[in-house]
Amino acid sequence: MSTVQLAAARLAAARLAPARSLLRCHSARLSSTAAAAPPSSYRVVVVGGGAAGLAVSSTLSEKLGANEVAVVEPSEVHYQQPLFTFVGGGLKSFKDAQRPTADVIAPQAKWIRQAAAALDPAQNTVTLADGTRVGYEYLVVAAGIELDFGAVKGLEAAIGRDGVASNYSPMYVQKTFEFLQAVRGGNALFTMPATPIKCAGAPQKIAYLADELFREKGIRDRVSIGYYTALGKIFAIDKYAAAMDAVARSRGIGVHLLHDLVAVDGPARRATFKVLGSGPAAGETVTVPYEFLHVTPPMRAPGFISRSALANAAGFVDVNQHTLQHARFPNVYALGDCSSLPTSKTAAAAAAQARVLKHNLLRQIRGAAAADAAPAAEYDGYTSCPLVTGKHKLVLAEFSGYTGQPHETFFFNQANEHAFSYWLTADVLPAIYWRSMLKGTWSGPAAIRKVANPTGSG
């Protein structure tokens, strides 16, 4: 099949999708000329059953019917990762943050219990880890972002022992509280890498919880807390950066900008940072001894995505930032941490993206009549980062990553530490996550904002 014919086939799947049987014929025709037909095929395949993938697949499987939607997800356990900060800080149990995947995946969806190993959008297939192929008419990619502990010299050997922990991994999140409790004095270091990461506030949140813990134990004067970030400011959005600078100052936490963790010597308990930027020390390295080290590892797009035709230059799924439709393959969408969307990667962002994606994909599936009846939905870059600063204190950052402006839900100044914001994040949002977001019925606080703070101003 020529490139032109393939492009025409893709357009057929994308634009002329009203009749399912027609598309099934199309798939068969594609397969017979190019490769053997995949043993199974679905109207929609969702790769990844995390926060974003389940928010999308629940609604789609309900609307499209049983076994029309398949979810490719290898993990038997689903983690509510926003709770990991609380687990690491000793405020929630690890059990609170997990459920069996079987309990959270929509009953009408077909769960394929494997990892995707390759994506072939020209053939409309996903290859699984065991080599079998799964066909689709529409693909949604929601496979998250990969932790890359190996990118820091010595880190793979050091993590999980001798005072080195990370809230970012279910394997090491419980180590954070265990090692924090063992601290008697010395340096407690918290790092933030130069790569894109999920929840860009989490690297510093745990520093505030550690500060509070050390104060409660009466050892704060014996512990020096340092936040080492590869970035040039403490938080991307000016309003919240000013608030967090003030919080760090008031707690006596040293903020070291443009310091990128490059090596960890576990047995000697020493962390080495490279100084970034263009200042007099740029390019030099600084080695700091520690008693406790919380690492936020560098992250990258999953390899099976970055190797595929769906990736942009940075390896993430190359989608239109408003419609979430792929830039070159119109029957492909992506959302959440694996997408190219230029906003902060959070579950809050994924919830808002899920609403837009579902609207636009269903509109496309239903064809021209639906397209005439309703305009395409557009994502505005909304995201939220609840910056926990203590047991009952939290700065509730809400903003658009597209405009860099606050987009707050409530009428009070959310840059101030509030007990209400803490309660919302620690107790209300986790329940919403299990009961509503994963079932596809929570798409963020827009409706509340309309009443509580109609302009969204911060």
Ligand X SMILES: Cc1cc2nc3c(=O)[nH]c(=O)nc-3n(C[C@H](O)[C@H](O)[C@H](O)COP(=O)(O)OP(=O)(O)OC[C@H]3O[C@@H](n4cnc5c(N)ncnc54)[C@H](O)[C@@H]3O)c2cc1C
Using alpha carbons only, what angle is made at residue 333 by residues 321 and 324, rounded to the nearest 5 degrees?
A: 20
Q: Is 338 assigned a catalytic role?
A: no
* Residues whose CB falls within 8 Å of the CB of residue 234, separated by 6 or more in sequence, listed in order: 204, 227, 241, 244, 245, 248, 255, 257
| Site track 42-81 with ligand X (rule: CB under 6 A), x = hit | -----xxxxxxx------------------xxxx-----x
Size of the site for ligand X (CB under 6 A): 37
Question: What are the strands, taking DSSP E only, across 193-347?
Answer: 223-229, 254-256, 259-265, 270-275, 285-289, 292-294, 299-300, 332-334
Place of tokens 């636009």: 360
Interface residues for ligand X in 366-385 (CB under 6 A)?
A: 384
Out of 202, 244, 271, 394, the only residue in the binding site for ligand X (CB under 6 A) is 202
Candidate list 140, 299, 385, 387, residue with the active-site label: 385
Candidate list 91, 140, 199, 276, residue with the active-site label: 199
- In three-state secondary structure terms, 424 is helix
| Site track 426-455 with ligand X (rule: CB under 6 A), x = hit | ------------------------------
- In terms of CB distance, is 74 or 186 closer to ligand X? 74
Cα–Cα dist 82/78, whole Å? 12
Cα–Cα dist 320/339, whole Å? 10
Q: Does 85 bind ligand X (CB under 6 A)?
A: yes
Give the residue from 220, 217, 289, 227 showing the smallest Cα distance to 254: 227
- In three-state secondary structure terms, 110 is strand
Q: Is 385 assigned a catalytic role?
A: yes
For the record, the structure tokens of 365 come out as: 């599936």
Q: How far is the CB of 282 from ligand X (least distance, A)?
A: 30
Q: How far is the CB of 77 from ligand X (least distance, A)?
A: 9
Q: Does 422 bind ligand X (CB under 6 A)?
A: no
Q: How far is the CB of 21 from ligand X (least distance, A)?
A: 29
Out of 142, 253, 275, 332, the only residue in the binding site for ligand X (CB under 6 A) is 142
5: number of CA atoms within 13 Å, CB side? 8
Question: Which residues are known to be catalytic?
Answer: 199, 385
Task: List contacts with ligand X (CB under 6 A).
Answer: 47-53, 72-75, 81-82, 84-85, 115-116, 142-144, 167-168, 198-199, 202, 302, 304, 336-338, 345-348, 350, 384, 386
